[in-house]
Amino acid sequence: MRTISESRCFGGVQGVYAHASDATNCEMTFGLFLPEEAEFGPVPVLWYLSGLTCTHENAMVKAGAQKWAAEAGVALVFPDTSPRGDEVPDHPSYDLGHGAGFYINATEQPWAGHYRMWDYIAEDLPRVITANFPIEDERQSICGHSMGGHGALTLAMSLPGRFRSVSAFAPISHPTASDWGRKHFLNYLGTDEATWAPHDATLLMRERGFEGEVLVDQGTADPYLNALMPEALAEAMCTRRQPGAVRMQRGYDHSYFFIASFMGDHIAFHAEALHR
């Protein structure tokens, strides 16, 4: 692992680091905010997964999360959204290739050699974080936006015991039935739709739910609302009687202005679970 930068931030440190990843077979970059409490011992951690076209930097710079995390004594991890580099396959479309890993393990060519973002988030990066920083293994929560909201929800429901809480901003809620999902699954996973189901938050909610609480915020003025399908996830949560809430926020869109407006709510939600 190498340090790219470290800056003092709300009494803690906002760092950017790079490491060689076994999962993605390339160098990966991530951001990590450590609150002041990390100077004295391990702290709980909140993972933030970003959406299409983003890098580790978007949420780190735009979400305003560090202020709230510092007050809560919680670390923040900002992973990248895909493998990158000249040797990593890309696509001219904005929603495939670099910036569009979709938090799954690709099985189709040319993607299979590098696009293993599920393993990267679930196994590879956690090993790097806990080996190099004062982070508590047993106190973790996860959050994400759009494609990252899809990743946060599917990881949380598929890894029982890993995360104490999960939240999402405008998640891709039902990708097997959406243009934001079917294209990615077809390219990364192939034509067998049985392999798609484990990566659909609505289907996972119907099948198993989440052992903790769920918080979802969705803007009513989001231009991608039809592709995100929050109503499918809300219906699945109601049918399962899943503890949590899907909140439709009047007039908000898909941007980081929306995320910054409710980031304090989300960190407070996770801090309550992490410090319980």
Q: State how far the Cα of 176 lies from the Cα of 173, in Å rounded to an integer.
A: 9
Q: For the chain, what is the radius of gyration of the CA atoms?
A: 17
* pLDDT value at residue 203: 98
| H helix or E strand, kind and range, residue 153 | helix 147-158
CATH number, position 266: 3.40.50.1820
Catalytic position from the list 82, 222, 266, 270: 222
Cβ atoms of 111 and 89 within 8 Å: the answer is yes
Q: In the annotation, is 19 catalytic?
A: no
Query: Mean pLDDT across the stretch 76-98?
Result: 96
Residue-wise pLDDT tens digits, 197-232 = 999 999 999 999 999 999 999 999 999 999 999 999
Cβ atoms of 105 and 117 within 8 Å: the answer is yes
* pLDDT value at residue 39: 97
Catalytic position from the list 56, 174, 254, 266: 254
What is the extent of the structural domain holding 234? 2-274
Q: In the annotation, is 275 catalytic?
A: no
Query: Mean pLDDT across the stretch 29-41?
Result: 98
Residue-wise pLDDT tens digits, 219-268 = 999 999 999 999 999 999 999 999 999 999 999 999 999 999 999 999 99
Catalytic position from the list 21, 50, 141, 146: 146
Query: Which residues are CB-neighbours of 231 under 8 A, at least 6 positions away?
Result: none
* pLDDT value at residue 240: 96
Cβ atoms of 136 and 163 within 8 Å: the answer is no
Q: In the annotation, is 254 catalytic?
A: yes
* pTM of this structure: 0.97
Instruction: Please give the tally of structural domains in the chain.
Output: 1
3-state secondary structure 31-96: EEEECHHHHCCCEEEEEEECCCCCCCHHHHHHCCHHHHHHHHCCEEEEECCCCCCCCCCCCCCCCC
